[in-house]
Structure formats: C-alpha cells, structure tokens
Amino acid sequence: MIDIHYCDEVAEARAKGAPVVALESTIITHGMPFPQNVETARRVEQAVRAGGATPATIAVIAERLHVGLSDPQLLALGQAQGVMKLSRADIAACLALGKTGATTVAATMIAARLAGIEVFATGGIGGVHRGAETSFDISADLHELAQTPVTVIAAGAKAILDLPKTLEVLETLGVPVIAVGQDELPAFWSRQSGLKAPLRMDSPAEIAAAHRIRAALGLPGGQLVACPIPAEAEIPADVLAPHIAKALAEADAQGIAAKAVTPFLLQRIFELTNGASLEANIALVLNNARIGAQIAAELAKP
C-alpha cells in the first residue's frame, strides 16, 4: 500500500466521516502565476471550509503523496521551479524518483480515490484539443473520468479546447456530464458554450444521489459536474474568441506540444486579456469549491 501523508485537518475529517473535498495542485504550479496561485489556493480551501467540508489539496512532495497540505507547503509549491505535472502516466515515476509533482485532474482523482474522497473541485478539466484529428492531443483527464469513481466539479472543459469533440469523447467513455442550473454546457470563462449539456441537475442532493446510484450499479468512473462561472465574473465567449485564436496560433507556430500546451495557452490568454482571464478563473474555482462542499456534505449524510 502506498504511504499517504494526511495533514491533521484531513486526518480528523476522515476519522469522523466528515465531508472532504479534494483539490488539485497543477492549477497552482502550471495554471496560475505566483502570487495569485497561492492566494487562490488558500481562498479555495477557505471556500470549502465555509461550505462545511474539509479541503484536501493533493501533491507529491519529496517521495510522498500528500493529501492535505500545510500552508508552508502550499507556499513552497506555489513558488517552486521544475515541478512535474503529474497525470496517470507519471505519478508513480514521480514517487519512485523522489521528485515533487503537482497533480492534474487525472492524478488528483487517483489520489482522492485512494484516500476515500469522493468529491473533487477544480477549474476546468482537460479535454480534446482543437486539431486533435492531427495532433492526437486528448487529455488523460477524460479517460480518468471513465475509470475512477470521483465526482469532479468544474466549470466545464476549458474554452481553449474543442468542446463538441470533448463532449463526444465523454459520451463514448460513458461519463455523465451534468450542467448545474442551466441546460447549456458552460465554457470555463463563459457561462454559455452554445452546446446543450447531456444532463442537467439543479441541486447538490441530485448530484450526490447520482454518484451513489452509479456505485450501486457497479459502474466504474466518475461524473463531470459543470458549474457555470458566476454571471458577474464571466467573460463573454465572443470577447475571448480572438484571444484564444491568437494564443492557439502562437502555440502552433512555436511547436508547443504535449503537457506544455495547456499551461502555455492559459499564460498567453492571461497576458492577452490583461489579467482578466485570471480573475475569471479565480472566481470560477471558488464557485466550484463551494458547490463541491455542498455535494460532499450530501454524500456524508447517512
């Protein structure tokens, strides 16, 4: 068995059967600049606590899988250079090599399941990249959702992706995609994507019930819960579109590939929007953390 290190707060919550929400760390190391990354990570943890659950930020630090980080660990991770970006393919290698790694959606789901945590809140999952028909760039997050039983709260898939193809792959893989409180799939920084979500639910209790019933049916895999960014924080899709197009063209021209693509695009869109994309990203993660806490609280009820 893997030796998981729990922080005191998470150990206590687990012992009591109190609700816990997993949080990822790639958003800290590869998704946002310092110091906003650390400030956001702290605020997200607070949002989970305010919602009545315990936050468990997950990372690999010096040979150990940590579920729940101390504040000094969070601060160090947020400033560290050369942190590995861990998915299903490399989490074991990172532990074997004694390196430090930040967990993506896929790796956070793997760790959450090991820790018995059923709910995980993040910003946006990875998906099918535009041009995937030639690049074959499809995030491992999608396959993880198909096989690891964790309900993932996100603001949809990031709008840098090919959203119709992402929905098709999720459907093929048997992953429920549930929009919260609206019919349309949200598109990360924007509330609307122009795509109807396959499923809609309006309450944390319904989402928790579907999670339980999937387990009772013996179905592997999790659920993608897509929460629209709060209206006051959104950037309309037509405002973002030219910035996304420019960032994608630059990535292509510079030969950015594999794990570097998403961090490159997020950084360029941050620059091209003069920081507005980061403000929206922060608002949507906080919102997802609040909703994640509500779903975890429902699941903790006997």
Q: Which residues are catalytic?
A: 24, 158
Residues that bind ligand PSU (CB under 6 A): 24, 26-27, 30-31, 104-105, 122-124, 126, 139, 141, 259, 262, 266, 281, 285
* Residue 26 contact among ligand PSU, Mn ion, none, beta carbon within 5 to 8 Å by kind: ligand PSU
Q: Which two tokens stand for residue 268?
A: 């360029």
**Strands 54-61 and 64-67, bridge-based pairing:** antiparallel
- Can you list the pairs that 45-50 forms with residues at least 24 positions away whose Cβ atoms lie under 8 Å? 45/289, 47/286, 47/289, 47/290, 47/293, 48/21, 48/23, 48/121, 48/289, 48/290, 48/292, 48/293, 49/293, 50/290, 50/293
Could you give the CA distance from residue 234 to residue 244 in angstroms, rounded to a whole number?
15
The reply to whether 137 sits near Mn ion by the rule CB under 5 A is yes
| β-pair partners for 101 | 60, 84
Binding residue count for Mn ion, defined by CB under 5 A: 1
Could you give the CA distance from residue 265 to residue 205 in angstroms, rounded to a whole number?
35
Q: Which is nearer to Mn ion, 85 or 113 (CB)?
A: 85
* Residue 234 contact among Mn ion, ligand PSU, none, beta carbon within 5 to 8 Å by kind: none
Q: Which is nearer to ligand PSU, 215 or 257 (CB)?
A: 257
Task: Say if residues 103 and 91 touch (Cβ distance below 8 Å).
Answer: yes
Residue 236 CB, shortest distance to ligand PSU, in Å, is: 18
Residue 230, phi-psi category: left (phi > 0), alpha (psi -120 to 50), beta (remainder)? beta
The reply to whether 141 sits near Mn ion by the rule CB under 5 A is no
The reply to whether 144 sits near Mn ion by the rule CB under 5 A is no
Q: Which is nearer to ligand PSU, 24 or 298 (CB)?
A: 24
Residue 168 CB, shortest distance to ligand PSU, in Å, is: 17
Q: Which is nearer to ligand PSU, 78 or 124 (CB)?
A: 124
**Strands 84-86 and 101-103, bridge-based pairing:** parallel
The reply to whether 162 sits near Mn ion by the rule CB under 5 A is no
Residue 139 CB, shortest distance to ligand PSU, in Å, is: 3
Residue 80 CB, shortest distance to ligand PSU, in Å, is: 16
Q: Which two tokens stand for residue 266?
A: 């997020």
Q: Which is nearer to ligand PSU, 217 or 258 (CB)?
A: 258
Residue 123 CB, shortest distance to ligand PSU, in Å, is: 2
Distances (CA, A) of 262 to 81, 171, 251: 17, 23, 10
* Residue 287 contact among Mn ion, ligand PSU, none, beta carbon within 5 to 8 Å by kind: none
* Residue 281 contact among ligand PSU, Mn ion, none, beta carbon within 5 to 8 Å by kind: ligand PSU
The reply to whether 24 sits near Mn ion by the rule CB under 5 A is no
Residue ranges binding Mn ion (CB under 5 A): 137
